Structure 1
């Protein structure tokens, strides 16, 4: 039987754009996810400091079974335990916390901690993390990922921070497994009306077209 973690790893490789939704009211979050889904996005991250995160994740998983849903900014074991109860597909953190990594992985869930140096990357991987979030990516640049893959080619990376349609291709070409994308999608309006909704769809279609062209060679 294929493990849930292997399934999620392969999903994030096939659908490498993880749209990050931070501190949105539940209604806005669900509208944003609907627009992202319409535009071809199949991986989303809801940060753990969002309102009603547990019910929001449950609602997204019920409405969009082909989408993988992650929880971001997971900083403690207590927080991780709550999220495991709602069957989140993966978790992310801006830092390397070995206790959190081990707790999540022991429960058959993908953990993606944030790292900034090769030492942090290796420490996170050796603690059990399956993908390492390179954060903030705009300080590191795509060349860092390519250089890192020389001595550490076995560690999948997820650059996050400053990723948009202008540089997605260079990060993919550098070897990124997946990418955390936030500001490229206009999801943080106070309300998501028709105009905002259509703009999210448009940006999602633009970005997924770039990914598809890269994957097709």
Structure 2
């Protein structure tokens, strides 16, 4: 899958589930719930040692039905291992030049966490596909995206934290390109996850429709 194809799919889906699981059984339950609700983009966090195995097994099970990436990737060694297991994108809480270089080499989108405008521009100039507003998005909320997009409207931004069913419309209206969602899409039964995913995706569809009518 080409880098541009992956980015287009992330932008189209808009909602990304941030997943931390200890077993493949729970990972499948979350994946099934997300898919049932229309969310087909999952980040599997390397905060747990089995992340590579989860990515590989989900990739083999779902193929192109799911877009699966690796999160909390702090170094180039982990990035390469994640790519080998089938990760379609790499996300981190920080920017690392070696990880960026590794991802560019294999044409895998890299989305590093950045706090300042300087960090974001540095990452973008180095070849990052999108920047993750972390940990500042959960602190400042949707107005952060509007503030960042004012001087740099071309900057692709992913939020990480602070999104819920009550404020999802505000985040979408702010101009955010992708919304990272944790507990809403990873807690509860498959049916509860599916319902949350459905509501989040519905907000995306409504927002897109409004923009097209303008």
Q: TM-score, normalised by structure 2?
A: 0.92
The CA deviation at 1:53 is 2.2
Structure 1: segments with no counterpart, 5+ residues: 190-195
Give me the whole-angstrom Cα distance separating, in 2, the residues matched to 1:107 and 1:44.
Answer: 20
Give the RMSD, CA atoms, in angstroms: 1.5
Aligned to 2:145: 145
Q: Is the 8 A contact 1:26 1:52 kept in 2?
A: no
Q: 1:35 is matched with which residue: 33, 40, 45?
A: 33
The CA deviation at 1:157 is 0.2
SS of 2:184's partner is coil
Aligned to 2:208: 215
Give me the whole-angstrom Cα distance separating, in 2, the residues matched to 1:87 and 1:57.
Answer: 6
> What CA deviation, in whole Å up to 9, does each residue of 1:75-126 have, x standing for no partner?
0111011011123110100011121111112211000000111111111111
Q: Is the 8 A contact 1:25 1:51 kept in 2?
A: no
> What CA deviation, in whole Å up to 9, does each residue of 1:21-51 have, x standing for no partner?
1143221111111111111111000001335
Q: Which has the higher helix share?
A: 2
SS of 1:184's partner is helix
The CA deviation at 1:142 is 1.4
Aligned to 1:110: 109
SS of 1:208's partner is helix
Give me the whole-angstrom Cα distance separating, in 2, the residues matched to 1:20 and 1:73.
Answer: 10
Residue 121 of structure 2 corresponds to residue 122 of structure 1: yes
Aligned to 1:135: 134
Give me the whole-angstrom Cα distance separating, in 1, the residues matched to 2:145 and 2:162.
Answer: 15
Aligned to 2:81: 82
Residue 7 of structure 2 corresponds to residue 9 of structure 1: yes
Aligned to 1:158: 158
> What CA deviation, in whole Å up to 9, does each residue of 1:116-160 have, x standing for no partner?
111111111112101000012121221121121121111100011
The CA deviation at 1:188 is 4.2
Give me the whole-angstrom Cα distance separating, in 1, the residues matched to 2:123 and 2:150.
Answer: 18
Aligned to 1:48: 46
Aligned to 1:202: 195
The CA deviation at 1:55 is 2.7
